[in-house]
């Protein structure tokens, strides 16, 4: 009995190394196969929605999708089995995505059309960075995230003001243009305002009265100008980070007080006056 | 008599705490209810303009709007009563908005359709920051405003030049394209120029002659390029602010070794470890 | 005879003060009247092109334009007479614009329709800064110009590469899409490429084949990404300027070697070692 | 025999100076002629695709193209003959472009229509900088390339995330909008998402259901906001470069007073006036 359990343990260990590890040949190979299958499955779902392709190859597409779904299901079960704390994996970001990636196909047995939801598999692509495991890239994405996070609050305040302006401008345009030119209701007018303010400009709705065109011109110039604000916020963050990295060093940590950032040529900690290690 | 007045005084005090304060439970609760009602009332006005919804629920919508209007009216009156200097409130930014928020409904008794103007209630959303009272956020919005204010003049000069260019380009396109392609007059051509220069590009008017398309290409590249200018202005402001706040001071000279440049928050000289003067 | 010439001289002096000066009451008043007339004349030309307005008020519009033209002509002649070096004025930027502002109306006697060219009067608006004479604003516009000038070369190199890409992409799209979807010739395809790359996107021409849409997506992402380049160039210039102004002082000029830029707290010139004035 | 070979050698030398050199009068003249011919040949290919021009001048256009092709062919052969290491030239970037520039015309003998590919000649324009040989410009383009290269990785990570979002949003819109509004398949929906996210906005496909318009608004604001990211990345690079080149060094310590931070080009300590070490 103990021996059997031990065999199972060894199996679990092996599986874990393959599924979660990226250092062994098998582990890396599995990751690459997985990536390929994710890409394939997303393409399959896409192709299923293209009239011409679907009519010709419907059964083949469905079969392939089932094969991949079964593979993903086995992978999901093995991931749960092999890990120490399965509950933590199940409710983690990747765990939920892995589940969502297989559910739609099983649902499609009862609700035809649910298979379209398989497209959430695209979210599994986020594993890429884990798989590639290139320190440089993950360093870059950390920097990206930091800069975006640091500017998050400012950008939210900005979007809040933009949304209020959007409601006001949308209502004004509804009053000016009336129902003839497509501004059929305030929500539609607000939709138009967002289309215009973000400089997308579909042209499905556009002002036709002179006054409407005048106000629209104002909105466009506003939208053209205020794009400077989020850009300025994020850029300043990036600039701050990259400047910090270049004239100031983060490699000399003070051993006493733990402060991280010093001048490149600093000899003493600016915080507590302790001598810094010479690097 | 004195006692009655005193009762009234106490009532006024209480009301003031609820309406203007954000520290007591009641004050906070009132603010949240108010915010919810503002949101609701804006949604109501919007829905009233949507054909399908309005036909079905017209009377309900109107009733709800009246209820909210009456609530806002009472709030407005209480605000005036409870504050020390009512005149100052009435003519303040918020006071005027609070009045504008209730007026349209009363006007709609005499002028049907005026109720649409109730949408100005959206402006009451600006209270949000006062209500939330999160120091971090208000700090962020102060920084935002400062950066925008500091770049205001430069941006106005920029817009002035853009508008002159707009008039010139619009006229040129009017002459080139003629009336067949929608460039029916110079004002319309200027409208097209703004649509193009801001990269909105509805496509309701677009050049069809080769020469017109050539000039249009030039305008697009110009518009694509000069967006760099307002962006650059605002970004430089942000960068200046964020660098100023976070990095290096030249005001703290080390008294022992004479090194001049230190972090803003440095306590010890990075060069010789001497304590820095506290400025 | 001398007295008469002297009278004429006095007249010339007076005219010059009014026309070119901005310090006397009359000079300022004249400038404001001039500005108003320029604005009015531009509006007149615009209105003339609006069908509805022109049919109703054609003769009034033409009359007003003639009155303004005569006024501008007199002004132009007086400017030539009153200045010391008339030739220099005539061939200066403003001199040429002042002439172009009156010519079209006289030409319209022989070539009806030439009056539309009067819109070049809009260029006279550039006088505004001279007229307003606000040091702050002219300082701002100098800073703007400097930053744009400093980044001119980089932006030209950038536009050169963009134009070559435009030719290549345009040709590729012409081959892919064929004549059915509006890509009727390579020049038109290049026009489409510019419309897309600059994110204007009229939609008058848009790809309909899957491959065309795929390439178009690529072009859009390219255009969306490379807008970062001119923006980055200009912003870096602005940032450099504004940083230079803030941590580094330009007020301490070295009296010996003339170098202008020093640290705020510099005591000696970094260039020649001379002591700096204490400001 | 030796003399003949020597003559051939002299001929090779001369050709090389003309073709590759930019210092002699003949070499410069040849470069300018070449540039003119490239421009002409690209224009010819373009004009050939314009219906009206092609019908009228078909034979003339073809003849001109053949003349230029023969010229380019001779140039290509001479380039191979005259250079020391012909293999290296043939497989270099310019060598391949030079070959591609002549091939299509010869192919068009067997496959009519292949002549359109001659447009790749536009790539020969990249020679311009080599030809002009202006150190300032090539310096600028080096700076441009460096900044873009330094931000390449961050931008690739960014585009990767944008593409995943594109797949997810495209599928959501496909489910929401259905086939009536032009969202006929997921690939088409993804195309729409890219059109919207990059703020191009053709309007060939646009949402018509309220929910679709709501999601579209969200996508637009997202696209409007995240353009800040690539812009921020590139700008920070530019700012870093331009600051690095123009401002402050921490490598020059003053030997007398110990001040650490000086201008890059400082010769004397700003603090005590001592000469700085030359690094």
- pLDDT tens per residue, range A145-194: 887 888 888 888 888 888 889 998 998 898 888 777 889 888 999 999 99
pLDDT of residue D271: 61
Contact B199, A195 (CB under 8 A): no
- Given a contact as 3+ CB pairs under 8 Å, which chains touch B? A, C, D
Whether C141 is in a domain gets the answer: yes
**Helix/strand/coil for C263:** strand
- Given a contact as 3+ CB pairs under 8 Å, which chains touch C? A, B, D
Does the beta-carbon distance from A202 to C202 stay under 8 Å? no
Among A273-277, B179-183, D65-69, which is the least confidently predicted range?
A273-277
Residues composing chain D: 279
Residues A241 and A264 grouped into a single domain: no
Classify the complex by whether its ipTM is higher than 0.85, answering yes or no: no
Which residues of chain D make contact with B260, given a CB cutoff of 8 A? Answer: 259-261, 271
Please tell me the distance from the alpha carbon of residue A65 to that of residue B129, in angstroms, as a whole number. 50
CB-defined contacts A:B, below 8 A? 181
Q: CATH number for the domain including C122?
A: 1.20.120
pLDDT band at B213 (very low <50, low <70, confident <90, very high): very high
CB of B253 within 8 Å of a chain A CB? The answer is: no
Nearest to C228 among D141, D194, D230 (CB): D230
pLDDT band at A246 (very low <50, low <70, confident <90, very high): very low
CB-defined contacts C:D, below 8 A? 180
pLDDT beneath 70: ranges in chain D: 1-5, 128-138, 241-279
Whether C157 is in a domain gets the answer: yes
Residues A232 and A251 grouped into a single domain: no
Query: At which of A133, A160, A175 does a domain end?
Result: A133
The distance of A210 to chain C (nearest Cα, Å) reads 11
Average pLDDT over residues A82-96: 87
CB of B237 within 8 Å of a chain C CB? The answer is: yes
Does the beta-carbon distance from A50 to D187 stay under 8 Å? yes
Helix H or strand E encompassing C42: helix C25-49
Mutate to test the interface with B, among A236, A240, A267, A269 (most CBs of B within 10 A): A236
Please tell me the distance from the alpha carbon of residue D215 to that of residue C165, in angstroms, as a whole number. 33
The vertex-D18 CA angle with D12 and D20, nearest 5°, equals 90
Whether C19 is in a domain gets the answer: yes
C-beta neighbour count of D17 within 10 angstroms:
16
pLDDT of residue B25: 83
Nearest to B261 among D239, D257, D260 (CB): D260
Please tell me the distance from the alpha carbon of residue A265 to that of residue D170, in angstroms, as a whole number. 51
Residues D80 and D109 grouped into a single domain: yes
Which residues of chain C make contact with A225, given a CB cutoff of 8 A? Answer: none
Please tell me the distance from the alpha carbon of residue C176 to that of residue C172, in angstroms, as a whole number. 6
Residues A142 and A236 grouped into a single domain: yes
The half-sphere exposure of B13 on its side-chain side, counting CA atoms within 13 A, is 6
Residues C12 and C128 grouped into a single domain: yes
Does the beta-carbon distance from A160 to B204 stay under 8 Å? no
Structure tokens at C5: 């010439």
Structure tokens at D208: 């018509």
Does the beta-carbon distance from B236 to C233 stay under 8 Å? no
Contact C105, C115 (CB under 8 A): yes
> Please, which residues bridge with residue D263 across strands?
D248
Compute φ and ψ for A263, nearest 5 degrees. Answer: -65, 155
Could you read off the pLDDT of C80-107 as tens digits, one per residue?
A: 988 888 888 889 888 888 898 888 888 8
DSSP C131-169: HH--HHHHHHHHHHHHHHHHHHHHHHHHHHHHHHHHHHH
What is the value of pTM for the model shown?
Answer: 0.83
Contact A102, A76 (CB under 8 A): yes
Please tell me the distance from the alpha carbon of residue B112 to that of residue D251, in angstroms, as a whole number. 76
pLDDT of residue D41: 87
Nearest to B224 among C119, C188, C198 (CB): C198
Which residues of chain C make contact with D246, given a CB cutoff of 8 A? Answer: 240
Q: Tell me how far apart the 2 most distant CA atoms of chain C are, in Å.
A: 88
pLDDT band at C248 (very low <50, low <70, confident <90, very high): very low
Whether C2 is in a domain gets the answer: no
From the list A85, A79, A74, A72, the residue with the least C-alpha distance to A21 is: A79
- For the CA atoms of C163, C169, C175, C180, what is the dihedral angle to 10 degrees? -90
- CB interface of A with B, residues 157-216, below 8 Å: 157-158, 160, 164, 167-168, 171, 174-175, 184-187, 190, 196, 199-203, 206, 210, 213-214, 216
The distance of C210 to chain A (nearest Cα, Å) reads 11
pLDDT band at B166 (very low <50, low <70, confident <90, very high): very high
Which residues of chain D make contact with A46, given a CB cutoff of 8 A? Answer: 185-187, 190
Which residues of chain C make contact with A231, given a CB cutoff of 8 A? Answer: 231
Quote the percentage of chain C above a pLDDT of 70: 80
Which residues of chain A make contact with C43, given a CB cutoff of 8 A? Answer: none
Alpha helices by DSSP H, B50-199: 51-82, 86-90, 93-110, 128-132, 135-177, 186-197
Residues B145 and B235 grouped into a single domain: yes
Q: CATH number for the domain including C200?
A: 1.10.287.70
Residues C144 and C81 grouped into a single domain: no
Please tell me the distance from the alpha carbon of residue C245 to that of residue C68, in angstroms, as a whole number. 45
Does the beta-carbon distance from D258 to B260 stay under 8 Å? no
Which residues of chain C make contact with B202, given a CB cutoff of 8 A? Answer: 202
pLDDT of residue D76: 92
**Is C190 a residue whose pLDDT tops 90?**
yes
Q: C43: which residues sit within 8 A by CB, 6+ positions away?
A: none
Domain that holds residue D40: 7-133
Residues C11 and C129 grouped into a single domain: yes
Q: Which residue of D has its CA nearest to A249?
A: D250
Residues D27 and D126 grouped into a single domain: yes
Residues D126 and D141 grouped into a single domain: no
Helix H or strand E encompassing B262: strand B262-263
* Residue of A85 and D270 predicted with greater confidence: A85
Mutate to test the interface with A, among B202, B250, B276 (most CBs of A within 10 A): B202
**Is C5 a residue whose pLDDT tops 70?**
no
**Helix/strand/coil for C248:** strand
* Residue of B26 and C126 predicted with greater confidence: B26
Which residues of chain C make contact with A239, given a CB cutoff of 8 A? Answer: 239
Helix H or strand E encompassing C262: strand C262-263
* Maximum average pLDDT range among B20-24, B200-204, C111-115, C255-259: B200-204
Contact B165, B189 (CB under 8 A): no
Query: At which of C133, C166, C186 does a domain end?
Result: C133
Does the beta-carbon distance from D258 to B239 stay under 8 Å? no
Query: At which of D80, D103, D133 does a domain end?
Result: D133
CB of D239 within 8 Å of a chain B CB? The answer is: yes
> Please, which residues bridge with residue B248 across strands?
B263
* Residue of A125 and A257 predicted with greater confidence: A125
- For the CA atoms of B69, B71, B77, B80, what is the dihedral angle to 10 degrees? -100
Token match 């939920």: residue?
A96
Whether B183 is in a domain gets the answer: yes
DSSP assignment, residue A250?
A: S
pLDDT of residue A126: 74
- CB interface of A with B, residues 102-131, below 8 Å: none
Please tell me the distance from the alpha carbon of residue A251 to that of residue B37, in angstroms, as a whole number. 53
The distance of B274 to chain D (nearest Cα, Å) reads 14
CB of B257 within 8 Å of a chain D CB? The answer is: yes
Contact C190, C197 (CB under 8 A): no
Compute φ and ψ for B227, nearest 5 degrees. Answer: -60, -20
Whether D278 is in a domain gets the answer: yes
* Residue of C146 and C242 predicted with greater confidence: C146
Number of separate domains in chain A: 3
Average pLDDT over residues C48-74: 89
Please tell me the distance from the alpha carbon of residue D140 to that of residue C212, in angstroms, as a whole number. 34
Residues C16 and C127 grouped into a single domain: yes
Does the beta-carbon distance from C202 to B199 stay under 8 Å? no
Please tell me the distance from the alpha carbon of residue D217 to that of residue D214, in angstroms, as a whole number. 5
Whether A1 is in a domain gets the answer: no
Whether D1 is in a domain gets the answer: no
For CA atoms A153, A157, A159, A163, the dihedral sign is positive
**Helix/strand/coil for C183:** coil
CB of B259 within 8 Å of a chain D CB? The answer is: yes
For CA atoms A154, A159, A164, A166, the dihedral sign is positive
Q: Which residue of B has its CA nearest to D210?
A: B50
> Please, which residues bridge with residue A262 across strands?
A249
Quote the percentage of chain A above a pLDDT of 70: 80
Structure tokens at D88: 């290296």
Helix H or strand E encompassing A249: strand A248-249
Residues D252 and D190 grouped into a single domain: no
């Amino acid at each position: 009995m103990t021996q059997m359990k031990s065999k199972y343990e060894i199996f679990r260990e092996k599986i874990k190394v393959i599924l979660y590890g990226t250092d062994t040949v098998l582990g890396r190979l599995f990751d690459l196969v997985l990536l390929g299958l994710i890409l394939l499955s997303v393409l399959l779902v896409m192709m299923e929605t293209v009239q011409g392709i679907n009519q010709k190859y419907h059964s083949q597409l469905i079969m392939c999708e089932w094969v991949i779904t079964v593979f993903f299901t086995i992978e999901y079960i093995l991931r749960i089995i092999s890990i120490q704390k399965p509950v933590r994996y199940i409710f983690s970001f990747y765990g939920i995505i892995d589940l969502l990636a297989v559910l739609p196909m099983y649902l499609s047995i009862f609700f035809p059309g649910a298979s379209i939801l398989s497209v959430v598999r695209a979210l599994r692509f986020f594993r890429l960075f884990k798989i590639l495991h290139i320190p440089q890239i993950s360093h870059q994405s950390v920097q990206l995230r930091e800069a975006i996070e640091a500017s998050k609050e400012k950008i939210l305040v900005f979007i809040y003001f933009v949304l209020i302006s959007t409601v006001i401008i949308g209502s004004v345009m509804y009053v000016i243009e009336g129902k003839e030119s497509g501004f059929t209701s305030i929500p539609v007018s607000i939709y138009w305002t967002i289309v215009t303010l973000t400089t997308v400009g579909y042209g499905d709705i556009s002002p036709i009265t002179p006054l409407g065109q005048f106000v629209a011109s104002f909105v466009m110039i506003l939208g053209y100008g205020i794009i400077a604000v989020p850009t300025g916020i994020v850029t300043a963050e990036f600039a701050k980070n990259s400047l910090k990295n270049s004239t100031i060093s983060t490699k000399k940590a003070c051993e006493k007080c733990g402060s991280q950032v010093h001048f490149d040529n600093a000899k003493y900690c600016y915080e507590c006056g302790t001598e810094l290690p010479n690097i």
